[in-house]
Amino acid sequence: MVRRKFLKLSSLAAMGWIVSPNLISCAKNTLFDNPNYKGKVLIIGAGAAGLYAGYLLQSLGVDFQILEARNNHGGRLGKLEGFANFPIDLGAQWLHGNNNILADLVKKSKTKVTNDQSEMSYWFQNQIVQSLPKNVEIFDNEGLPDISFEAYALQQGLGEEYKYIIESLAGDQGADASEISAYWNHKEEENWVSGDDDFKFEESYFDFINKNIAQPILSKIQLNSPIDQINYTTDKIQLKLSSGTILEADKVIVTVPISILKLNEITFIPSLSQSKTQAFQKIGMGAGMKVFMKFSTKFFDQNITGGHICAAYADDSVGKAVDDNVLLAFVMGEQAEYLTSLGNDTAITTALLQELDTMYNGQATLNFLSGVVFDWTKEPFIKGAYSFSTVNMGDARLIAAQSVDNKLFFAGEAMNINGHHQTVQGAVESAYKAVNDLILNLK
Using CB under 8 A, list all residues that contact another protein: 18-19, 21-23, 25-26, 28-33, 55-56, 59, 97-101, 103-105, 107-110, 191-196, 212, 417-420, 429, 432-433, 436
Given a contact cutoff of 8 angstroms between Cβ atoms, the answer to whether 66 and 41 are in contact is no
CA 144 – CA 206 distance, rounded (Å): 36
Name which of 2 and 27 has its Cβ closer to another protein. 27
CA 259 – CA 47 distance, rounded (Å): 14
Name which of 57 and 385 has its Cβ closer to another protein. 57
Concatenating the DSSP letter of every residue in 21-58 gives HHHHTTS-SSS-S-----SEEEEE--SHHHHHHHHHHH
Sign for the pseudo-dihedral over CA of 279, 381, 332, 338: negative
- DSSP strands (E only) in 243-390: 246-249, 251-254, 267-269, 283-285, 288-295, 303-305, 312-315, 326-332, 368-375, 387-389
Name which of 231 and 436 has its Cβ closer to another protein. 436
Name which of 173 and 430 has its Cβ closer to another protein. 430
Q: How far is the CB of 421 from another protein (least distance, A)?
A: 12
Q: How far is the CB of 397 from another protein (least distance, A)?
A: 12
3-state secondary structure (DSSP) of residue 253: strand
Given a contact cutoff of 8 angstroms between Cβ atoms, the answer to whether 434 and 410 are in contact is yes
CA 51 – CA 405 distance, rounded (Å): 23
Q: How far is the CB of 99 from another protein (least distance, A)?
A: 4
DSSP one-letter code for 65: E
Q: How far is the CB of 322 from another protein (least distance, A)?
A: 27
Q: How far is the CB of 437 from another protein (least distance, A)?
A: 11
> Which H or E run includes 237?
strand 237-241
Name which of 22 and 234 has its Cβ closer to another protein. 22
Q: How far is the CB of 8 from another protein (least distance, A)?
A: 17
Name which of 76 and 433 has its Cβ closer to another protein. 433
Name which of 176 and 429 has its Cβ closer to another protein. 429
